[in-house]
């Protein structure tokens, strides 16, 4: 098959491109390199199975042309990372909503299978755990711009499912939780690569707040395998799936594990949120996914332990220093 990956030079997209080329597919990557990097695709350099196009999902004509040539579309292009969203909220909203609209509209004429990336952020301030795909969503006040990302991705989901119902477009919505591993940059506030980099440098690991907030971290390879399996499963079409590991860890505990794994003498430093983020930020204390629907549908769920994820990131960071 010929598969178009928007945002394919990004963290998840580049790993997905490698997997699909390895499976014998032709892959076209569309990326404006605002957050993605050509180096992420270095392993596929020179491959006849990869075509790289530098451009934006906001370019309707370009998107229409590339989608028209593809058999399947995986739409990953988005403004990502809490820090980026808080720093550039208007650009983030534009990219996340208009870009998805362009991709979905282009996919309708050929009824192209389209997988649309969403996020665990859509669960917002929900207090029912674990988070299930059919749960009600509770978003904070509009003055807190942190929620603009969640609302934009909710609109992406609504658009995808509306096109599925109104136009018969085969779509799958992917709600990614904290996905991490080699190639993830800490530039946009991604916690684990930042922790590893600090530990290796012997500098303090900065924990926001009291560190008791918990998250679940999944390995990018498990996330990619989930996407590939959903792509192949007809019963997944028209549905939403949590793509996640469901093993919780506190952010303080994560910092402690990174220090132990690296043998670092770094200290853990707690800082208040308002010293890091602009006005309009609020955090959630817990984010726990229910992944039973994913496992029922594709016979697979992300299971790689946090220790393996940390070891893989440490090995990559040490190799690049």
Half-sphere exposure of 276 (CA within 13 A, CB side): 18
- The distance from CA 268 to its chain's CA centroid, rounded to whole angstroms, is 27
Beta strand 50-54 with 72-75 is unpaired
| Gap between the Cα atoms of 104 and 161, Å rounded | 10
Q: Which of 149, 163, 188, 277 is catalytic?
A: 149
Q: Which two tokens stand for residue 263?
A: 């043998």
- The position carrying tokens 């699909």 is 20
Whether 149 sits among the annotated catalytic residues: the reply is yes
**DSSP E strand boundaries for the chain:** 2-6, 26-31, 50-54, 72-75, 113-119, 171-176, 178-180, 205-208, 214-219, 239-243, 248-250, 268-271
Catalytic residues: 149
């Amino acid at each position: 098959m010929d598969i178009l990956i928007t945002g394919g030079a990004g963290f998840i997209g580049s790993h997905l491109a490698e997997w699909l080329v390895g499976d014998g597919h032709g892959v076209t990557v569309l990326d404006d390199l605002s957050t993605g990097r050509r180096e992420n695709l270095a392993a596929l350099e020179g491959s006849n199975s990869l075509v790289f196009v530098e451009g934006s999902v906001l370019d309707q004509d370009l998107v229409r042309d590339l989608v028209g040539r593809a058999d399947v579309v995986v739409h990953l292009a988005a403004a990502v990372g809490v820090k980026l969203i808080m720093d550039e909220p208007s650009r983030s909203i534009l990219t996340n909503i208009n870009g998805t609209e362009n991709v979905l509209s282009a996919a309708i004429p050929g009824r192209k299978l389209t997988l649309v990336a969403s996020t665990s952020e859509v669960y917002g301030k929900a207090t029912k755990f674990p988070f299930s795909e059919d749960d009600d969503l509770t978003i904070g006040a509009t003055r807190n711009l942190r929620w603009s990302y969640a609302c934009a991705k909710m609109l992406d989901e609504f658009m995808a499912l509306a096109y599925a119902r109104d136009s018969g477009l085969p779509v799958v919505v992917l709600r990614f939780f904290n996905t991490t591993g080699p190639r993830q940059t800490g530039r946009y506030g991604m916690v684990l690569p930042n922790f590893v980099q600090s530990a290796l440098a012997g500098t303090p690991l900065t924990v926001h707040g009291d560190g008791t907030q918990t998250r679940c971290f999944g390995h990018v390879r498990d996330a990619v395998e989930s996407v590939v399996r959903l792509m192949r499963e007809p019963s997944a079409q028209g549905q939403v799936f949590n793509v996640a590991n469901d093993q919780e860890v506190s952010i303080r505990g994560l910092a402690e594990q990174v220090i132990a794994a690296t043998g670092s003498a770094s200290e853990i430093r707690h800082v208040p949120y308002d010293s890091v983020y602009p006005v309009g930020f609020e955090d959630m204390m817990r984010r726990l996914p229910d992944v039973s629907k994913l496992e029922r549908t594709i016979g697979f769920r992300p299971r790689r332990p946090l220790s393996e994820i940390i070891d893989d990131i440490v090995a990559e960071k040490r190799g690049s220093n």
